[in-house]
Amino acid sequence: MGRGVPLERRIGYGSRVSERAGVDSGPKDALVDAAERLFAEHGLDGVSMRDIAKAAGQRNNSAVAYHFGGRDGLVREVFRRRMLVINQRRREMVDALDGAADRDPLRALLEAMILPLAEHLRAAGPGSTYLQFLARVSPTVDFRDPTLASVRALHTELATRMQRELTHLSPATALARITLVLTMSASALAAFEQQWALGLVDGERELDAVVAHVVDLAVGGLRAGANAG
């Protein structure tokens, strides 16, 4: 099947996903901002709650415990805050698939997962750190937590729909492939985010091509035959 509308037009950078969309202001938000940046740069084990409070301009070193109940609650909030906005865009793209008979379903589902991350990066610009945070922290997030129920539901729906398109693979192999492909796609965008911040790439000019490559590789990885060895 053809791709239909060019990728750069489907992305619609900045038109729907705002860097600060749905984000409150104040001490709590400052803690989340600081945590996102520090966790992205140093990982969970490289940052103390004191470091985060200081970076957020909070004199009270127990501010994280007061607002989030501790480190785990803060990590969940950093993950959830922007992901809720990103998932709103994903939901729109998934809902639009039902009336798009000319689209390759697998490619369209992968774009629904990947493109909203790129939209966030485009809107946030070279100061963005959320994708680096995701690459470092997502494997440790407990998606069974009730506060992440909506995030879990959409990810499960997308993975299930992708599995249905992978009839050449066993269900277990298909799910393993989907998990790996989505992890690698997010990591690729996180690497680009870091390079943009360091001035090693022209993010405005090069992001479209990088996203197109990521989507193509994701499609190819899922369509590859099973290893018979």
pLDDT reported for residue 13: 43
Rounded to 5°, angle at Cα 33 from 213 and 61: 145
pLDDT reported for residue 99: 72
Instruction: Write down the pTM of the prediction.
Output: 0.85
- Which residue positions in the chain have pLDDT lower than 70? 1-25, 228-229
Q: Where are the alpha helices (DSSP H) in 3-148?
A: 7-11, 27-42, 49-55, 63-68, 71-97, 105-124, 130-137
The whole-angstrom separation of Cα 123 and Cα 16 is 9
pLDDT reported for residue 148: 86
The whole-angstrom separation of Cα 219 and Cα 213 is 10
The whole-angstrom separation of Cα 207 and Cα 83 is 20
pLDDT in tens, 161-201: 999 999 999 999 999 999 999 999 999 999 999 999 999 99
Taking a C-beta distance cutoff of 8 angstroms, is the pair 134, 190 a contact?
Answer: yes
- Stated as kind and residue range, the H or E segment containing 164 is helix 149-165
pLDDT in tens, 192-225: 999 999 999 999 999 999 999 999 999 999 999 9
- The answer to whether the Cα torsion of 6, 19, 113, 216 is positive or negative is positive
The whole-angstrom separation of Cα 191 and Cα 181 is 15
CA 171 to chain CA mean position, Å: 24
The whole-angstrom separation of Cα 111 and Cα 94 is 9
pLDDT reported for residue 98: 80
Structure tokens at 78: 């950093």
Using CA atoms, how far residue 31 sits from 56, 59, 108, 109, 138, in Å, is 5, 12, 36, 34, 19
The whole-angstrom separation of Cα 106 and Cα 108 is 5
pLDDT reported for residue 15: 43
Give the length of the chain. 229
